[in-house]
């Protein structure tokens, strides 16, 4: 087993987990904006309701005229406005057309309630017409006054977000002008794409944290080959804005956002950074404990079959390269003869992987009879649940590879070592041993890292069960 010190090293979080739980940067200003807008809308709706009651047809016993029903009216109207995304920042809160639609929809909903609640009774048409007109007018006026006030404050450099720009030197001037058009940002620093390189990355994020940077603007040219970097911003609680070029491709986690009239990608930070990853770790722990308890009779049976089939230990332990290129010992049921690793050198000429990074051989003479059965149904992988329990692996992630394979890595291949290795992954459910080119496997691993979510893990686990039962690509 790996030494205690190595286990502790491997417990270091991967790129999907922050060093400590953080609240989204700039959240206080955003919450204050939302609360002020809700307050203004509530005041506008109350005034509109009072005017409507005063000037509409007098209905003493009608529910819409009863002040005790006012909270219900406000909840419905504010709820519909919020559902339309009109409390978001930027152009969303200034979308007066959608604001009018939301208020109109809420009035129709109130009218519908009236028809069912007071079925057969008379209702005041003038009340609803006045309420609709004044609600629209007062809310739009309130939003307009809010925009004027925030614009004046931002011209004095108040309530502005501190941001950082990463782009090529020749693009920085034009990008700064584009950012400044929004009048809500203060560019506190700039750098080129080298600050995102592996050697400079930690220093860059340390600087961003110390400067209290809320959002970072990155040009597409600076990040197009480093999209996994998005996780560093995400887990730091920093919103990432990707400035486009004509050939920009959309990142799966991105949302469309407009700056200076130009559409660009934005990857918003979560309110609590890293929370998804801790859910993943908790899921791994719970599942590994439950599976180890349930499968203990299967473990005993497999151990007996291995002992009866061939001489040697039940478990096979091998050094593998895990998170951040740290070494650990992987546990598997032994499926080969005891001197299998020594025999591999003589079999290298029969390697079926084209680029030679991995070693795969369909009719490997080193595999035992029981070993063939275990490999066909991936039962040899079950002891790796112990590695998951120790925090050295996850249920889902890129497969940890032997030293021999990692020694042949090119620079771009090390991206897969930025996350916890897994028992199964995209590679395994997309062909398993049928993939004969390591570059294709790396692309699948990178796709997993960029698109990761809890639901993606669950999807891969279900696919793994189907692939194992169908014996797809197993040997």
Encode pLDDT of 220-241 as tens digits. 888 877 878 888 888 888 888 8
Secondary structure element (H or E) that encloses residue 40, with its range = helix 27-55
100 phi/psi in degrees, rounded to 5: -65, -40
Q: Give Cα 419 distance to the centre of its chain.
A: 14
pLDDT for 125 = 73
Is the CB of residue 23 less than 8 Å from the CB of residue 236?
no
Q: Which stretch of 132-141, 386-395, 450-459 has the lowest confidence by average pLDDT?
A: 450-459
Q: What is the pLDDT of residues 328-367, one digit of tens each?
A: 999 999 988 877 666 676 666 666 565 555 666 666 778 8
In this structure, whether the domain defined by 160-272 belongs to CATH 3.40.50.150 is answered with yes
Q: Tell me which of 440 and 401 has the higher pLDDT.
A: 401
Q: What is the pLDDT of residues 51-92, one digit of tens each?
A: 887 776 665 445 555 676 788 888 988 999 999 888 887 777
d(CA 99, CA 90): 14
At residue 444, does pLDDT exceed 90? no
Chain position carrying tokens 């028992």:
423
Q: Give Cα 3 distance to the centre of its chain.
A: 33
38-42, 115-119, 451-455: which is most confident: 38-42
Q: In percent, how much of the chain has pLDDT > 70? A: 80
pLDDT for 260 = 65
pLDDT for 294 = 94
At residue 369, does pLDDT exceed 80? yes
Q: Tell me which of 281 and 271 has the higher pLDDT.
A: 281
Structure tokens at 13: 């979080």
Delimiting residues of CATH 3.40.50.150 domain(s) in the chain:
160-272
Is the CB of residue 124 less than 8 Å from the CB of residue 68?
no
d(CA 255, CA 382): 39
What's the pTM? 0.60
How does residue 128 score in pLDDT terms, banded at 50, 70 and 90? confident
Mean pLDDT for the chain overall: 81
How does residue 471 score in pLDDT terms, banded at 50, 70 and 90? low
Cα–Cα nearest to 281, from 125, 155, 437, 419 = 419
What lies within 8 Å, CB to CB, of 351 at 6+ separation is 359, 360, 361
Give the mean pLDDT of 408-430. Answer: 84
pLDDT for 155 = 81
CA distance readout (Å), 194 to 139, 152, 201, 225: 47, 37, 9, 12
pLDDT for 12 = 52
pLDDT for 6 = 41
């Amino acid at each position: 087993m790996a030494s205690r010190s190595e286990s502790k090293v491997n417990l270091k979080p991967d790129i999907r987990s922050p060093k400590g739980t953080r609240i989204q940067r700039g959240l206080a200003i955003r919450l204050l904006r939302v609360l002020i807008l809700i307050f203004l809308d509530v005041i506008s709706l109350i005034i509109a309701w009072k005017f409507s009651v005063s000037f509409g047809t007098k209905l003493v016993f009608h529910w819409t005229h009863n002040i005790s029903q006012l909270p219900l009216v406000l909840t419905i109207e504010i709820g519909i406005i919020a559902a339309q995304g009109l409390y978001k920042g930027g152009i969303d809160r200034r979308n007066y057309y959608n604001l009018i639609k939301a208020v109109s929809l809420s009035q129709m909903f109130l009218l519908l309630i009236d028809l069912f609640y007071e079925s057969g009774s008379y209702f005041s048409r003038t009340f609803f017409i006045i309420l609709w007109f004044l609600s629209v007018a007062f809310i739009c006026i309130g939003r307009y006054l809010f925009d004027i006030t925030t614009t004046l404050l931002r011209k004095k450099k108040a309530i502005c977000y501190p941001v950082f720009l990463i782009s090529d030197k020749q693009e920085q001037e034009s990008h700064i002008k584009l950012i400044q058009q929004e009048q809500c940002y203060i560019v506190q620093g700039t750098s080129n794409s080298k600050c995102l390189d592996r050697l400079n990355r930690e220093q860059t994020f340390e600087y961003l944290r110390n400067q209290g940077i809320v959002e970072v603007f990155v040009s597409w040219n600076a990040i197009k080959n480093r999209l996994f970097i998005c996780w560093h911003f995400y887990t730091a609680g920093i919103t990432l804005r990707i400035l486009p070029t004509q050939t920009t491709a959309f990142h799966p986690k991105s949302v469309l956002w407009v700056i200076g009239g130009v559409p660009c990608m934005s990857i918003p930070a979560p309110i609590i950074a890293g929370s998804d990853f801790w859910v993943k770790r908790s899921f791994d722990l719970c599942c590994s404990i439950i599976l180890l308890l349930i499968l203990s009779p299967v473990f005993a049976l497999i151990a007996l079959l291995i002992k009866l089939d061939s001489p040697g230990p039940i478990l096979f332990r091998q050094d593998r390269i895990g998170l951040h290129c740290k070494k650990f010992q992987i546990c598997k049921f032994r499926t080969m003869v005891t001197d299998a690793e020594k025999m591999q050198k003589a079999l290298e000429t029969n390697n079926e992987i084209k680029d030679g990074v991995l070693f795969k051989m369909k009719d490997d003479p080193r595999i035992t009879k029981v070993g063939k059965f275990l490999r066909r149904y991936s039962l040899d992988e079950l002891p790796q649940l112990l590695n998951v329990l120790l925090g050295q692996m996850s249920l889902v992630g890129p497969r940890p590879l032997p030293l021999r394979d990692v020694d042949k890595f090119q620079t771009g291949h090390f991206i897969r070592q930025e996350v916890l290795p897994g028992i199964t992954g995209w590679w395994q459910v997309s062909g398993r041993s049928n993939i004969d080119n390591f570059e294709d496997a790396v692309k699948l691993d990178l796709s997993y890292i960029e698109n990761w979510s809890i639901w993606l893990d669950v999807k891969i686990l279900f696919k793994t069960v189907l692939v194992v039962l169908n014996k797809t690509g197993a040997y």
